[in-house]
Structure 1
């Protein structure tokens, strides 16, 4: 018998990666249903109609309830599987974690995701070098803000203290993608320290792209 939770995911999608980390941290078993966004499977009529009207990954199906958008999914998981909490309950802590996660999810990731990069290339005719310059510019600008936020907190081995939160769940996949794209992240020492600390955590290890059933080298 399969798990109660199904995750529609692509191994190299940073948003899918976020949800995999959250599920692993909470110890929630799930079945992976691969959606190859490189081949456009997220735009299939049946997928849009029955799984995710946003035509994107990830999406979860939990006992008949279907939900897309990684931040909404993680908030939902916090409600139905409250331990460990990823979005704190205390007002100021919650606000800080959401502020940080929003920086990544709203400011950095959207301008560098696959559909934007493809549009730059196929519709606007940018060169490979120009596309790379675009990607690295927005990573640098975003990561500078990330570093300033981490410096303000000056907390533990994770972004906000001694336990992983939504902030770390968003940061680790973003850094992973930036490194894959050849970005120089050496100026962002605090961010890299969190990333390297997470590399030894079992939940982050299980969620890594290379561990997924649809992984392609």
Structure 2
């Protein structure tokens, strides 16, 4: 039986999430890379492996998973220590809410294929694409910032880094890439800073990946 395989791309925020979870769990899977900017995710070989044509992709003893949240929850169940979700059910629900706000309400609208469709169908130039992304980050971050007012300790939900932080940090990375103004979101900035100080988050950072450009 071979070690698990994680297929990703250094600047994919979804792959970034899984790298953080893997590092927090102390796992050492094999890695492979799909270059999104070159369109390798649309190639026949990769689409046969992952019909969604996206990253990340996790392969483990006959199991294939292709959504970051599914991969992360699978890892948390298979390798329960340290846990990625709080003990109390209410706090677990809050952590999932934050993660899903990012995964469902912000991230998909800034996905490369969405941006390319905006250009193809509506002639959106680079400036319009950036404005589109910043718009949706702002709406989503307003909701997350309000939630953190009642949930945050050192991290998003209490004082231990977990699922919510795993989703927040890559989205803040994206926000900075797109020159989004984070000054109205001090709780998000504080949670991001606290998480990125941890070794697992450092190891998972895009600039520290073998395929980084």
The TM-score, its normalising length taken from structure 1, stands at 0.94
Tell me how far apart the structure 1 counterparts of residues 46 and 207 of structure 2 sit (CA, whole Å).
25
RMSD, matched Cα: 1.4
TM-superposed CA distance for 1:129, in Å, is: 1.8
Counting only pairs closer than 5 Å after superposition, residues 111-150 of structure 1 correspond to structure 2 as 111-150=109-148
Tell me how far apart the structure 1 counterparts of residues 150 and 158 of structure 2 sit (CA, whole Å).
12
Counting only pairs closer than 5 Å after superposition, residues 178-217 of structure 1 correspond to structure 2 as 178-216=175-213
- Tell me which residue corresponds to 2:73: 75
User: Is the contact between residue 3 and residue 31 of structure 1 (CA under 8 Å) also seen in structure 2?
Assistant: no
User: Is the contact between residue 7 and residue 30 of structure 1 (CA under 8 Å) also seen in structure 2?
Assistant: yes
What SS class does the counterpart of residue 11 from structure 2 fall into? coil
- Which piece of structure 1 moves more, 172-181 or 122-131? 122-131
Unaligned runs of 5+ in 2: none
- Tell me which residue corresponds to 2:164: 167
* Residue 106 of structure 1, aligned match among 84, 104, 107: 104
What SS class does the counterpart of residue 185 from structure 1 fall into? coil
Tell me how far apart the structure 2 counterparts of residues 3 and 178 of structure 1 sit (CA, whole Å).
37
The TM-score, its normalising length taken from structure 2, stands at 0.96
| Residues 1:85 and 2:83 aligned together | yes
In structure 2, the CA distance between the partners of 1:164 and 1:46, relative to structure 1 (3 Å rule), is same
TM-superposed CA distance for 1:94, in Å, is: 1.7
- CA deviations over 1:143-186 (Å, ceiling 9, x no partner): 11110010122x31100111111100000000001101111111
| Residues 1:15 and 2:14 aligned together | yes
User: Is the contact between residue 19 and residue 73 of structure 1 (CA under 8 Å) also seen in structure 2?
Assistant: yes
User: Is the contact between residue 2 and residue 61 of structure 2 (CA under 8 Å) also seen in structure 1?
Assistant: no
TM-superposed CA distance for 1:69, in Å, is: 0.2
TM-superposed CA distance for 1:122, in Å, is: 2.5
TM-superposed CA distance for 1:89, in Å, is: 4.9
